[in-house]
Chains A and B, each alone.
Chain A
Amino acid sequence: MSGPSTYVPKSALGRWFEERLPLGGLIHSSFVAYPTPRNLNYMWTFGGILSFMLAAQIVTGVVLAMHYTPEATLAFGSVEYVMRDVNFGWMLRYLHSNGASMFFAAAYLHILRGMYYGSYKAPREVLWLLGVVIFLLMFATAFMGYVLPWGNMSLWGAKVITSLFSAIPFVGDSITAWLWGGYSVDNPTLNRFFSLHYLLPFMIAGAVVLHVWALHVVGQNNPAGVEVKDVARDTVPFTPYATAKDGFAIVCFMIVYAWFVFYTPNYLGDADNYIKANALQTPAHIVPEWYFLPYYAILRSIPNKLLGVIALVAAVGITAFLPWLDTSQVRSGRFRPAFKLFFWLFVASAVGLGYLGAQEPTGGYVIASQILAVCYFGYFIVVLPVLGLVEKTKPVPPTIADSILPSPAPAE
């Protein structure tokens, strides 16, 4: 969609620069002239929200890093120093710790949007795969970030998750020791996690550039799930239309973010992380942050460690295969009544797994998570492949314009 730009800067200096590096043209064609389907709903604003959150995490993170000390005996105290003695340090830290949660909330909604409207289907497979890469990098970043304050949950959470690698036959223990830089989670682990926690967000930023590039090559999907046929009828230019809408959505999102930061800053956190890391004092319940809970429940639903880890990896990895698992010719869930039902069941089972991930893995809870894990995987490997072949879909509108305009007026 983004061809050579027709952008001509207004000033002479601008034209001089543009002839040497067409940066203005790139920005103009990507964020001003770029045609966006005119029927996008607010689920399409999460891309902008995610970009905002990435920038917010990087800005707050870089400033936090100026006051933070990545050393096992000092890290916990340095975070408390930020909270008490650095001007507005409490705000920085609460923005950053809650920002991670807001980032994930937006990412989950963004992904579910893609799943509901079939955005992963041809020709958007590479775009989708880049999204999966970003998602994995976010997991790694947030996991390592959570270790940095060096609270007791940081330490024990890191132990549990890094120990998963020891389930790998033969080389598992060596890999775990290599990750730790020693024989347990300790100062070397904290040092390398800080280094990587600083690095990965910039890799995410790089992946986001590719993601947006791929988006601008194939164009946005839309609630009708039909491709743009006539740019003049089916689309509106990014600026001012999408910018105004995204801007409004970002402000609304910031209200929710501010609610957490200023009123319930520790709602999503764990009280055990206000206890300094102590290798001799195991927390009563080791639970990861909420955004990992569904996967944690899947991990624990299987009594065998290696199989549990395989299920965990599969639960995340399977999303990469979505473009090929979904056999339906119809892209948008809007015209697939049976799909809709299964989609919402899938969402419910993921939420249910999240709840179970926070409970103690006893009796009924294990059975419940096994049932929901089967539902989770069933959606990908049974429902999507089969449904596309047998489902009776509703008629799909011929164009985007037809999908939103009142019943087409008879041609005059």
Chain B
Amino acid sequence: MIPSILRSLVRPLALCAAFALAAPAFAQQAEEQPIPTHQSWSFAGPFGRYDTAQLQRGFKVYKEVCSNCHALGIPFRTLSQPGGPEFSKGQVEALAATYQIDDVNDKGEAIKRPGRPADTIPWIFANKAAAAAAFGKAPPNMNLLAKARSFSDGFPWFVVNLFTQYQEQGPDWIYAILNGYSKPEDRKWNLYFPGHAIAMPSPLDSLFDPKTGKALNAGFYTDGTPVTKEQVSKDVAAFLMWAAEPSLDARKRIGFRVMAFLIAFAFLAYFTKKKVWSDVHAHA
């Protein structure tokens, strides 16, 4: 990660140099609408992996806070998949059974039955319109939220991001939104939300005092992790990243093997090529 002082110095400089005409307008825009800062994530970079314990904590936050409004839209069974929160099969079955799922019995009557691992985790609202009626705007489905939000670091950082493999704009965005309620008197004012007026009242207010930031329930986490606003937002953002990209662990694991193979193969191909061409330059 690049130190933020350096970043804030270099960005305007580079912008001015590249686009002297447009830079002032850009800087002004950046002032009203700051871009999220990069957090450090266990799943960043070529060897990144999800932190199972963090995903489990993140799921707890989702279940106890976010699920009051947001759908998750993934099946229960995925919670026990490798590379995810990896709850046990039994835990997932027990969890699913606590939900009541709409179904139809063999007489064709509408019934409610206990959930099964294959069911999609149900949403608290019957439909989008009902949710929109409650909050003025429907809370977005969370199954892709961490990939559906992004921001640009501007030139030249967006080029650097390719080489540092920075792909965590989504979780950084979610983290920023959760920590962007900087006005204790207006809980629908968010520093990072475009236009600042967000339909979601600060969701972490149910866990932390809006004025002091102190945890209302210090025993919220049972694994000894400190219950701080930063920690809770990071955990839920990491969990949402997994929900959006459950194949990340496998992708990076396979990616390393593919890379190692290709690089070795490239060396062999290079020496083969050299050998083949060795006689050409010698005699014409």
Contacts and interface: CB of A to CB of B under 8 A. Distances in A.
Interface in A361-376: 362-365, 367-368
Nearest to A250: B269
B83 to A, nearest CB: 11
Interface centre among A94, A233, A270, A368 (most CB of B within 10 A): A368
Given A255-B263, A267-B162, A248 B247 contact: no
A364 B259 CA distance: 42
A359 B194 CA distance: 17
Interface residues of A, number: 45
Per DSSP, chain B at the interface is helix
Per DSSP, chain A at the interface is helix
Contact of A247 (B78, B148, B252, B273): B273
A65 B155 CA distance: 37
Contacts of A12: none
Interface stretch (B51-59, B164-172, B229-237): B164-172
Contact of B265 (A91, A251, A284, A363): A251
A365 B22 contact: yes
A251 B194 CA distance: 44
B284 A362 contact: no
Interface in A50-83: 80, 83
Contacts of A405: 284
A346 B252 CA distance: 38
B161 interface: yes
A274 B22 contact: no
A244 B273 CA distance: 5
Interface stretch (A22-30, A104-112, A257-265): A257-265
A263 B262 contact: no
A245 B265 CA distance: 13
Contacts of B167: 263-267
A227 interface: no
A254 interface: yes
Nearest to A239: B276
Nearest to A89: B247
A254 B161 CA distance: 20
Contacts of A245: 273, 277
A233 B148 contact: no
B251 A241 contact: no
A274 B270 contact: no
Contact of B254 (A262, A274, A355, A364): A262
Contacts of A263: 46, 165, 167, 252, 255
Contacts of A38: 280
B70 to A, nearest CB: 14
Q: Chain B: interface residue count, which band?
A: 35 or more
B149 interface: yes
B170 A244 contact: no
A84 interface: yes
A172 interface: no
B153 to A, nearest CB: 12
B150 interface: yes
A251 B269 contact: yes
Interface in B140-165: 140, 143-144, 147-150, 155, 161-162, 165
Interface string B11-54: 00000000101100100000000000000000000100000000
A84 B246 contact: yes
Nearest to B24: A364
A404 B282 CA distance: 11
B207 interface: no
B266 interface: yes
A102 interface: no
B46 A368 contact: no
A200 to B, nearest CB: 28
A275 interface: yes
3 nearest A-B pairs in the assembled complex, by CB-CB distance: A262-B255, A364-B21, A364-B22
Given A251-B262, A258-B262, A368-B21, 15 more contacts: A80-B143, A245-B273, A247-B272, A247-B273, A248-B270, A248-B273, A252-B266, A262-B258, A267-B162, A271-B149, A274-B148, A284-B194, A362-B25, A364-B22, A364-B25
25 contacts: A38-B280, A80-B144, A84-B78, A90-B251, A91-B251, A91-B254, A244-B272, A248-B269, A248-B270, A248-B273, A254-B262, A255-B263, A258-B255, A262-B252, A263-B165, A263-B252, A263-B255, A266-B167, A271-B170, A359-B22, A363-B22, A364-B21, A364-B25, A368-B22, A405-B284
